[in-house]
Amino acid sequence: MTRSLRALAALAALLSLSVVRVYGQESVFRANGPDDFREGVHAFINATLYKDYKTKIDSGILLIREGKVVDAGRGVSIPVGAIVHDMKGRFIYPSFVDIYTDYGLPATPKVHTANEDDGGIQYTSNVKGAYGWNQAIRSEYEAQKNFAVNESAANDLRKLGFGAVLTHRKDGVARGTGAVVTLNNEKENKVVVKGNASAHYSFSKGTSTQEYPSSLMGTIALLRQSYLDAQWYKAYGYKTEYNLSMEAWNNEQNLPQIFDAGNWLKELRADKIAKEFGVQYILKGDGTEYRRISELKDTKAKFIIPLSFPKAYDVEDPYKALWVELAEMKHWELAPTNAAALSHAGIDFAITSADLEKKEDFLKNLRTAIKYGLSEENALKAVTLSPAQFLNVQDQIGSLDKGKLANFIVTSKPLFDEKAVINENWIQGKRYEIAKFDPKDIRGEYSLAIKSAKESYNYPSLKVQGEQAAPKGLITQDTNKIEVKLTIKDNDLTISFDPDKNKPGKFLLTGVLQSDKSWKGKAQLPDGEWADWTAAFVHALPDTTHPPKADTVDLTKLSKVLYPFDGYGNEEVPKAENVLIKNATVWTNEKEGVLKNADVVIRSGKISAVGSGLACADCKVIDAAGKHVTSGIIDEHNHIAISEGVNEGAESASSEVRIGDVVTSEDLNMYRQLSGGVTAAQLLHGSANPIGGQSALVKFRWGYAPEKLKIQGADGFIKFALGENVKQTNWGEKFTIRYPQTRMGVEQTYVNYFTKAREYEKALQARKPVRRDLQLEALVEIMNKKRFITCHSYVQSEINMLMHVADSFGFKVNTFTHILEGYKVADKMKAHGANASTFSDWWAYKYEVIDAIPYNANILNRIGINTAINSDDAEMARRLNQEAAKTVKYGGTSEEDAWKMVTLNPAKMLHLDSHMGSLKVGKDADVVIWSDNPLSIYAQVEKTYVDGICFYDKEADAQKREYIKRERARLTQKMLDDKKAGSPTQDPAKKTNKAYSCGGNNE
Amino acid sequence: MIKNIKLCSALVMVSLLVSFAAIAQEDVPVPAPKQSERLCLKGGTVHIGNGQVIENAYVQFENGKVTAVMPAGTFKTDETMGRIIDVSGKQVYPGLIAPNTVLGLTEIEAVRATNDMYETGSVNPDVRAIISYNTDSRVTPTVRSNGILYAQIVPQGGRVSGTSSVVQLDAWNWEDAAVKADEGLFISWPNMYHMKGWWAEPDGYELNKDYDKNVQELKDLFNDAKSYAYAPHEKTNLRFESMKKLFTDRANLYIRVDYVKEILQAITFGEEMGVNVVIMGGADSYMIADVLAAKKIPVILGKTHELPTYSDEDIQQPYKTAAILQKAGVLYAISENGFWQQRNLMFEAGTAASYGMTKEQALSAITLNPARILKLDDKIGTIEAGKAASFIISDGDLLDMRTSNISLAFIDGRQIDLDNKQKELYKKFSAKYFGK
Q: Are B391 and B409 in contact (CB under 8 A)?
A: yes
The CATH classification number of A444-539 equals 2.40.128.120
pLDDT tens-digit series, residues A199-244: 999 999 999 999 999 999 999 999 999 999 999 999 999 999 999 9
Res A995: pLDDT: 52
Compare CB distances from B422 to A669, A854, A889 and report the shortest one's residue.
Answer: A854
Compare CB distances from A875 to B200, B205, B305 and report the shortest one's residue.
Answer: B305
Q: How confident is the model at residue B434 (pLDDT cuts 50, 70, 90)?
A: very high
Residue A672 in contact with partner chain B when CB distance is under 8 A: yes
Res B20: pLDDT: 39
Distance CA A173, CA A207 (A): 10
The class (CATH top level) of A633-916 is: alpha beta
Q: For residue B348, give the H/E element and its range.
A: helix B345-354
Mean pLDDT across the stretch B303-332?
97
pLDDT tens-digit series, residues A739-796: 899 999 999 999 999 999 999 999 999 998 899 999 999 999 999 999 999 999 999 9
| HEC-encoded secondary structure of A108-154 | CCCCCCCCHHHCCCECCCCCCCCCCCCCCECCCCEHHHHCCCCHHHH
Measured between beta carbons, the chain A residues lying within 8 angstroms of B109 are 844-846, 1001
Is the Cβ pair B315, A957 closer than 8 Å?
Answer: yes
Mean pLDDT across the stretch A84-99?
96
Interface of A with B in 708-767 (CB under 8 A): 724, 729-730
Q: Are A230 and A250 in contact (CB under 8 A)?
A: yes
Between the CA of residue B46 and those of B42, B55, B394, what are the distances in Å?
A: 10, 6, 11
Q: What is the Cβ-side half-sphere exposure of residue A700, based on CA atoms within 13 angstroms? A: 35
Res A669: pLDDT: 96
Distance CA A726, CA A687 (A): 7
ipTM: 0.93
Q: What value, to the nearest 5°, has the Cα angle with vertex A324 and ends A318 and A330?
A: 115
Distance CA A853, CA A841 (A): 7
Distance CA B258, CA B281 (A): 6
Q: Give the residue on B whose Cα is nearest the Cα of A671.
A: B315
Mean pLDDT check: name the lowest of A701-705, B7-11, B39-43, B109-113: B7-11
Q: Which residues belong to CATH 3.20.20.140 in chain A?
A: 633-916
Cis omega (within 30 of 0) on the bond before A213?
yes
Res B42: pLDDT: 94
Distance CA A806, CA A824 (A): 19
- Check residue B282 and give left, alpha or beta (phi > 0: left; psi -120 to 50: alpha): left
Residue A852: pLDDT above 70?
yes
Q: Helix and strand tally (H, E) in chain B? A: 13, 18
Compare CB distances from A993 to B307, B344, B354 and report the shortest one's residue.
Answer: B307
Residue B75: pLDDT above 60?
yes
Is the pLDDT higher at A916 or at A505? A916
Chain centroid to CA A608: 43
Q: What value, to the nearest 5°, has the Cα angle with vertex B306 and ends B302 and B311?
A: 120
Compare CB distances from B422 to A855, A990, A992 and report the shortest one's residue.
Answer: A855
Interface of A with B in 942-961 (CB under 8 A): 957, 961
Distance CA A921, CA A602 (A): 9
Is the Cβ pair A889, B340 closer than 8 Å?
Answer: no
Measured between beta carbons, the chain A residues lying within 8 angstroms of B200 are 647, 999
Q: Which of A400, A396, A341 is nearest to A369 (CA)?
A: A341
Distance CA B352, CA B365 (A): 10
Q: Which of B300, B266, B271 is nearest to B283 (CA)?
A: B300
Is the Cβ pair B205, A850 closer than 8 Å?
Answer: no
Mean pLDDT across the stretch A623-640?
97
Chain centroid to CA B179: 12
Q: How confident is the model at residue B202 (pLDDT cuts 50, 70, 90)?
A: low
Q: Give the mutation candidate from A646, A700, A938, A951 for the B interface (greatest B CB count, under 10 A).
A: A938
Is the Cβ pair A991, B201 closer than 8 Å?
Answer: no
Residue B77: pLDDT above 60?
yes
Is the pLDDT higher at A147 or at B20? A147
pLDDT tens-digit series, residues B1-28: 344 434 344 434 444 343 333 334 456 8
Q: Give the residue on A whose Cα is nearest the Cα of B203.
A: A992
Residue A914: pLDDT above 50?
yes
Mean pLDDT across the stretch A699-727?
96
Measured between beta carbons, the chain A residues lying within 8 angstroms of B312 are 325-326, 567, 964, 968
Q: What is the Cβ-side half-sphere exposure of residue A701, based on CA atoms within 13 angstroms? A: 23
Distance CA B84, CA B60 (A): 9
Mean pLDDT check: name the lowest of A521-535, A890-904, B256-270, B317-331: A521-535
User: What domains appear along chain B, each with residue ranges and CATH number?
Assistant: 24-94+381-436 (2.30.40.10), 96-380 (3.20.20.140)
- Across all residues in chain B, what is the average pLDDT? 92
Mean pLDDT across the stretch A629-638?
97
Res B74: pLDDT: 75
Helices A743-765 and A796-808 cross at an angle (nearest 10°) of 20
Q: Are A934 and A891 in contact (CB under 8 A)?
A: no
A-B contacts at Cβ under 8 angstroms? 155
Q: Which of B335, B346, B259 is nearest to B303 (CA)?
A: B335
Compare CB distances from B311 to A325, A827, A995 and report the shortest one's residue.
Answer: A325
Q: Give the mutation candidate from B312, B317, B421, B425 for the A interface (greatest A CB count, under 10 A).
A: B312
Res A286: pLDDT: 96
Chain centroid to CA B188: 17
Q: How confident is the model at residue B205 (pLDDT cuts 50, 70, 90)?
A: confident
Q: What value, to the nearest 5°, has the Cα angle with vertex A491 and ends A485 and A494?
A: 25
Per the DSSP assignment, residues forming a β-bridge with A611 are A599
pLDDT tens-digit series, residues A348-405: 999 999 999 999 999 999 999 999 999 999 999 999 999 999 999 999 999 999 999 9
Q: Which residues belong to CATH 2.40.128.120 in chain A?
A: 444-539
- Across all residues in chain A, what is the average pLDDT? 92
Interface of A with B in 865-894 (CB under 8 A): 874-876, 879, 882, 885-886, 888-889, 891
